[in-house]
Amino acid sequence: MAGWFRTFTPRPHALRQLVCFPHAGGAASTFRGWAELVGPTVEVVAVQYPGRQDRIADPLPGDLAELADRVAAEVAPRLTRPTAFFGHSMGAAVAFETARRLRPQFPSRLTRLYVSACDAPPAHRRRTADHTDAEIREYVRFLGGSGAALLEDEELWQLSLPALRNDFRLIESYRYTTGAPLTCPVTAIAGDSDQSVSHADVLRWQDITIGPFGAVTQPGGHFYFDDSAAGLAELFRADENWAKPGMAAI
């Protein structure tokens, strides 16, 4: 069984690390080129969910809570330097739930949570998780981005469909439960032409932390960084507090 993390540009002596959580149907390879975005002082570590790429044979999680439990257990030993989480779409919910589980063990390690293209958990609405393959295909086309390339290769689409279908079930059956808020800074990001998540939706993320909160809009749709990641790179590099251990804690 392959491990949970991929580091495409190893920087073991970097001062800090960014742990990235993919979207529904996504894989660690989404973040392959992100080392250039964050600069030489940061190591990018991408989470590889079960059921895709080199983990295609691994059992799929039963719900989002189980997935967060497993990621938290695996990432905890890695929190030996200042660490930020970045989660996109479904990955934002997984990153948030992982952060909640780490709070008792590491009260000073997570220095920021970036949540991208995802409505806030307190505003999340449970929906039906029973979709036909055609409906899933149409939604992937609607969101666009590099993931839509799957639709052009039927063999690749069929290989990806079980994990994608399960991810849809995870996020659509996810139910937020109240609890102690995070105390780390939270930055919520939305694409200005994303038709699935609005700027107003991401503003609700301020409800889950008592730490500093900011909401940022980037040009583009749901996968705004596929077309231009310049704004995201600027956001990461301008975040000086992330580089200072002990500035914030979950």
Q: Which residues are catalytic?
A: 89, 222
- CB-based contact 113:85 (threshold 8 Å): yes
Structure tokens at 21: 């959580």
- CB-based contact 100:93 (threshold 8 Å): no
User: Distance (Å, rounded) from C-alpha 235 to C-alpha 5?
Assistant: 24
Distance, first Cα to last Cα, the chain: 31
The strand pair at 186-191 and 110-116 is best described as parallel
